Amino acid sequence: MDGRGLKFTAVLAAGLYGVHLAEVALPGTIWSWAGILPRTASGLVGVLFAPLLHGSWSHLMVNTGPLLVLLALLFMNPRYRPWSSLAWLWLLSGLGTWLIGRGGTMHIGASGLIYALVAFLIVAGWRLRQWLALLVAAVVVVFYGGLFLGAIPWLVERGVSWEGHLMGAVAGIAVATRLRPPQPDPVELVAQRALAEAERLEKLAVELNDPARPGARRL
């Protein structure tokens, strides 16, 4: 994990608890502007700020552990393009919730981002075809694969934003499709082809000079 990623993760974790302390100190509707209110112009602000808000300490603590682990896994591999990928995951999961979320309901919490990270890391392992990415994908499936049940409407508790979970997963899949397996260096590729051609010609010359071969002639 690079130093900037570690610092960002620590700052984000501290920020989540700082924001919730402010929510507790100043309760009421003062924070409503920062949540996602689907299909309203004012609700678009929540696309940026809703992951920072939580309805209770238990809500925050349930999200903190998975979020920190998944961010650490994201920043561990530069082939994930972690900074741009995180920005797209954050924005698209929020926009998706804004589009399909239940009207008149405020959607808050980092769970949509968590679902986005889980889906992204799993699909990225398949897209990159790299042992480290595949290992991360396997770990995420084992420990967090069950989260996807939370994106099924009839399996979640009342008041839980299954729309945020679902659109987070969709965002993770979409962002992971940007990734490509590492391409070989063009110069190295040309050199490998030239070497293969030289070996083929050398083998052909040996065969033509083989006395035991019918019709052989010396070159």
Same domain, 206 and 138: no
Same domain, 141 and 210: no
Name the pTM for this structure.
0.82
Same domain, 33 and 84: yes
Same domain, 214 and 121: no
Instruction: Provide the residue-wise pLDDT of the chain in tens; the chain has 219 residues.
Output: 678 999 999 999 999 999 999 999 988 777 888 999 999 999 999 999 999 999 999 999 999 999 999 999 999 999 999 999 999 999 999 999 999 999 889 999 999 999 999 999 999 998 998 888 889 999 898 888 888 888 888 888 888 899 999 999 999 999 999 998 776 656 665 666 777 777 777 777 666 665 655 555 544
Same domain, 133 and 196: no
For position 33, what pLDDT does the model report? 85
How many Å apart are CA 107 and CA 19, to the nearest integer? 16
**Secondary-structure percent of the chain, ordered helix, strand, coil, rounded to 5:** 75, 0, 25
Cβ distance 58 to 109 under 8 Å?
A: no
Residue 87's domain spans which residues? 3-176
Same domain, 19 and 87: yes
Same domain, 107 and 202: no
Helix (H, G, I), strand (E, B) or coil at 161: coil
Same domain, 163 and 193: no
Q: Name the one residue in this structure whose structure tokens are 């590729």.
A: 189
Count the Cβ atoms, other than its own, within 10 Å of residue 15.
11
